[in-house]
Structure 1
């Protein structure tokens, strides 16, 4: 039987899976008077447009299970697991709330917010296959908390419990009804396979045997075994202090053996069992995101601390209290995380920030799989594309930030636009996702909208005006907050070649960067080049197909946006991030053949090389990227110091690099000062003792604190993170920086306010001016 998606590849559209993810296939035999496979593209298109869109019809055969299609029978287990687990975890969270058990409350309610709320609208879509169901669950999960948090924040009516109860009243009945329908579908299916008089143990044994024959194979055993080994290795290396190369030198050979087993599972994967490939990719993502979350005591990005402070501000004062207006104008993500933290009883969102890459990794996996399943023919090839996209992306945009959600939402938006859903349903879904994206991040909506425009030019997205559903909310939101945005827009920089340069750090005279810095850069570039070369080979072989050129041109969108605004010289990383999935979709088509008799050596080889580049580029600089709890505690010691009315506190950062600080509040009582601010370039003598340097810095910060005439309290922070950063980038030797710390200890006027884990917070007590002697 020839299906619409099988034929559509010959009509110039992006190829679709031969076995669809949901019930959207239309047989060519339905064309009146035509034998199978002889229908024209126009006739098939007319049939496709006239067929019922049952995936979006929630009242589809709800009262009858006799009409269950094969797709309905296949999805009954998935629907039952999602609904039943959501109800159970809601009960666990509610009991934890009533019994004041914080762990049960946090685990149960976080699960329900992330899975239950997002999965409820789709539990009644009986024919929706698992990849599509999980993708739509991720889309709803990322949008609903954003809407709820933003509305409560903008209306100054912060009532998180009321909002959660209102959503639970709507979603719990859906899950209850979904469980009943799934059980009914499951019984009807199992009843035909097992007669009613059969013994229950016999039926259970037959079910287990069928499940084992279908899914259990060598690939599955290798991936599960490798994941378990990596988990054991990570648990035995908890509380690792990141040094050069991060955890890579200390994690031990056991972890690498487990990772190798997971990669080898791809070699013996078969096209007939895409479940084993899916589990291998899932375990690979869990290893790469879960290992840092287990071995380190903090997130792998210093900016996460700033975002956690914003979340805490919303929870306490119900507004964004910062002088940086661009954060206050795009509060969607922070409001969503504040709402989730309040509901789940998370006192310190830093724990949520530490686990965020794992949670986001699951959503990113769903989004990538949905996009790949929309474009590629084979399910197994789609999972290979997901694996390539994950391993070629060591940029680290999965930390606790609006950028991370913007990327996942962007993938889901483009995938829905490329799908064959009804245009009206597309508009509803894309408009909602576009509004959530527009209120959370400044740059992502334009890259996503630009990608959709390019695909529309190649006639892969229809109707052609569909990109407006994403661009219109972004433009409207930016226009309404232009006062906060205008200081970051420079029309004179449009088209400037410097926009494409990454941030640069100049080394100090007589010093050089460490090898780890250059190797991480080359590993990042090398992985992208390998993926790009593989994708280019596919483009060359299929250069006559318009759908191939659509995929190849999709990454241009990010470059065009960066040509207008460099986004603080970080836009090139953002453009690369959004371009990698399209290269992965092309490159995966080089590994379509998974024979039943021979291992796929080429696939394992490229995955092994990409894994090496990923580990080096992603974790090589963890010594300066990971937040040390003592640094954050020292900063909080400074922020919690009360200031008398009319006075201000200054915190001098003694070393280079980022530390877990936050933008100043509107009252401007606690201000962080970089060393470069009080020590302009060229002001440092070529040869200077630590004592002389400490005196010079003291005079500089004292003079800086008197510039506005307000009484001031002066602090200084010495951090091992700054010491490692200066060493890696050739700015300062560790021993030189350590001598500055010891000089401040003995210098009159300075005293230690806090010290732990190598972090030292100093406070300066200015000597009182002597009063004039009486005459």
Structure 2
């Protein structure tokens, strides 16, 4: 690897002309003033937000103009800050932290609990592992978490150390916390590529302005991604330190003596093992990235030991603890290798039945990703010095897995996420790099580009909030079932979009109508009552059966189109008129019905209760 520096810090500025010198104080004061004003506007904007008025575009429809003004000020102030030859690190950090807060702390401040049903599912897994002190028996469909338990067991350890009984508070604030923690590895990585603070902080700001994939919630993926990025940053940092440079560290490729010291290498081993035990996909991404970084001969002395450790821990874990999952899915994994075209396109189709606003959002997400990658590729074409760094390898690292497996239609978005750190840095070299003073048009052009990318970020991040947030009534409905249902009970819902529908999953059964076969789904929307009643009268269920219908489930049907938009209303109307269903919990946002099975009459024939 060679250095990605566009200029040495002491060469970043040429002789300033008098007009530029006169503008510098004004630029500095504008950059200093925009940050506190943006933060004040953001906090003011959160007062009185009506979440119940969200529609097809989620939070975008209910956030007031002050919120958008705050983001515009953040973008403009940050671009102005990077016009300075030596932008103050504290102020640059303030802008990046303010962007993280404005984007990722907003739901935590507005919602009564964690956003996204998967966060609640992972809370249920932590609770079950805490109760069982390890592996959860009778886990059925959630047994995969027994096979990759690293994230969950770390949470259990944290709860035991603190004396807390639930990770609910951590899950509620996990998104801003995860993004805050990512800043360390990002800065470590970028500082190994350049000494120009404009590119270091510009790359970080651009990363957070374009990370719309939404894999930063309370999940093993977010945890493993943090560790992955830290491992890559440490490897690139080691590559940078292995060759002396007159102006400081630069990734010029390791010298023959560029071996790891014991302490840092042990840290890398621990991080690699944690990745292998926490998530299925991330270890493979780590191996792919290290493999590409090891292609240049000058890098191998540094990269190959880490690559060997990553391969060894992943293979060992998959062959032992995760063997059941790997063996059960080996056929599908092998078949996917033969269909690279379908793997790439699997996340692009399926928009026909979605709400019109969601179709717009989907294409905006793709356009945002394409724009970021286009910026990165343009930077590589414009500056040949960038092509001699490890950035092309980091950018291309997810490609082998994108071709190898669809990952449930999500691989194309995961590939973008793993390529984003390199893409953001490369984009920063175009938007914020170069010698100063710069042409007058570059500042408004950079500001406009950042604003456009931020718009794409918000559309991707906030547009599904009508189904991703849960009201206090919905949370209370699930709490009621979890507290009152005896072991062996069954919980039925139209979709899986519940705040904790997996609670006590080792004791309760779960049926999701939206996961039935296509024929059963057609029967459901035509005549819901027989289908629902048959499922709730399952003789294998040893306890009562409950049907829970919520606002978020209706929103998911409307937004995604996986079921007709009125499916929840149809089911509700059908069971409300049946004597077999008793409403035991009723609020405007959620209702819970208990199924009353027929009473067996003398002689074995069923009779009405």
Interval of TM-score (by shorter of Structure 1 and Structure 2):
0.7 to 0.9
Q: Structure 1 658/666 Cα, relative in aligned 2: closer, same or farther at 3 Å?
A: closer
Q: Distance in 2 between matches of 1:343 and 1:241?
A: 41
Which residue is equivalent to 2:124? 309
Task: Look up the SS of the partner of 1:282 in the other structure.
Answer: helix
The answer (yes or no) to whether the contact 1:266–1:600 under 8 Å persists in 2 is no
Q: How does 1:292-691 map to 2 (within 5 A)?
A: 292-321=107-136, 322-323=139-140, 324-420=142-238, 421=241, 423-424=260-261, 425-458=263-296, 459-460=298-299, 462-465=301-304, 466-481=306-321, 482-489=323-330, 490-497=333-340, 498-502=342-346, 512-543=353-384, 546-548=387-389, 550-590=390-430, 591-593=432-434, 595=436, 600-643=443-486, 648-653=488-493, 655-656=494-495, 658-661=497-500, 669-676=507-514, 680-681=518-519, 684=522, 688=526
With over 3 angstroms needed to count, the CA separation of the structure-2 counterparts of 1:379 and 1:643, relative to structure 1, is: same
Residue 769 of structure 1 is aligned with which of 596, 600, 603?
600
Which secondary structure does the structure 1 equivalent of 2:114 belong to?
Answer: coil
Matches within 5 A, 1:703-742: 705-706=538-539, 708=540, 711-731=542-562, 734-735=565-566, 737-742=568-573
Corresponding residue for residue 289 of structure 1? 104
Aligned-CA RMSD value: 3.1
**Superposed displacement of residue 251, structure 1:** 1.7
| Counterpart residue number, 1:131 | none
Displacement after TM superposition at 1:636 (Å) = 3.5
* Cα displacement string for residues 165-201 of structure 1 (whole angstroms, at most 9, x for unaligned residues): xxxxxxxxxxxxxxxxxxxxxxxxxxxxxxxxxxxxx
Tell me which residue corresponds to 2:22. Answer: none
Residue 282 and residue 643 in structure 1: after superposition, are their counterparts in 2 closer, same or farther (change >3 A)? Answer: closer
Q: Which runs of 5+ in 2 are unaligned?
A: 11-24, 242-258
1:760 equivalent to 2:604? Answer no
CA deviations over 1:634-688 (Å, ceiling 9, x no partner): 33433333537xxx322221x2353334558685x41111214556426636994
Asked whether the equivalents of residues 490 and 509 of structure 2 are also in contact (C-alpha less than 8 Å), the reply is yes
How big is the shift at 1:756?
A: 2.8
Q: How far apart are the structure 2 equivalents of 1:280 and 1:620?
A: 24
Q: Pick one of 43, 47, 65 that aligns with 1:231.
A: 43
Structure 1 position 701 matched with structure 2 position 497: no
- Give the total of aligned pairs: 555
Asked if 1 retains the 8 angstrom alpha-carbon contact of 2:524 and 2:531, the reply is: no
Asked if 2 retains the 8 angstrom alpha-carbon contact of 1:263 and 1:604, the reply is: yes
Q: CA deviation at 1:318?
A: 1.4
Partner SS state of residue 463, structure 1:
helix
- 5+ residue gaps, structure 1: 1-10, 21-212
Deviation at 1:432, TM superposition (A): 1.7
**C-alpha spacing 1:677/1:280, structure 2 compared with 1 (3 Å):** closer
Counterpart position of 1:249: 61
CA distance in 1, matches of 2:523, 2:121: 34
Q: TM-score, normalised by structure 1?
A: 0.66
Counterparts in 2 of 1:612 and 1:339: CA distance versus 1, 3 Å: same
Structure-to-structure mapping, 1:14-413, within 5 angstroms: 14-15=4-5, 18=8, 217-237=29-49, 242-269=54-81, 270-275=84-89, 276-321=91-136, 322-323=139-140, 324-413=142-231
Measured against aligned partners, the alpha-carbon deviations of 1:299-356 in whole angstroms (never above 9, x if no partner) come to 2321011111122223333124223332112211112222323444544422211111
Residues in 1 aligned to 2:152 and 2:34: alpha-carbon distance in whole angstroms:
40
- The answer to whether the Cα contact below 8 Å between 2:124 and 2:505 also exists between their aligned partners in 1 is no
Spell out, residue by residue over 1:372-407, the C-alpha distance to the aligned partner (whole angstroms, 9 max, x if none): 111134111111111111122100011000111111
Residues 16 and 468 of structure 1: CA distance in aligned 2, closer, same or farther (over 3 Å): farther
**Preserved CA contact (<8 Å) 1:417 1:461:** no
Contact 2:523 2:531 in 1 (8 A): no
Distance 1:739 1:227, change over 3 A: same
Q: 1:401 to 1:460 in 2, by over 3 A?
A: same
CA radius of gyration, larger in: 1
Asked if 1 retains the 8 angstrom alpha-carbon contact of 2:59 and 2:466, the reply is no
Q: Contact 1:286–1:358 (CA<8 Å) still a contact in 2?
A: yes
Q: Distance in 1 between matches of 2:68 and 2:386?
A: 41
For residues 487-520 of structure 1, give each alpha carbon's deviation from its aligned partner in whole angstroms, at most 9, with x where no partner exists: 233322223233334458868xxx9432221122
- Would the alpha carbon gap of residues 17 and 713 (structure 1) be closer, same or farther in structure 2, given more than 3 Å must change? farther
> How far 1:287 sits from its partner (Å)?
0.8
Task: Please give the alpha-carbon distance, in whole angstroms, between the structure 2 residues aligned to 1:736 and 1:567.
Answer: 28
Contact 2:159 2:165 in 1 (8 A): yes
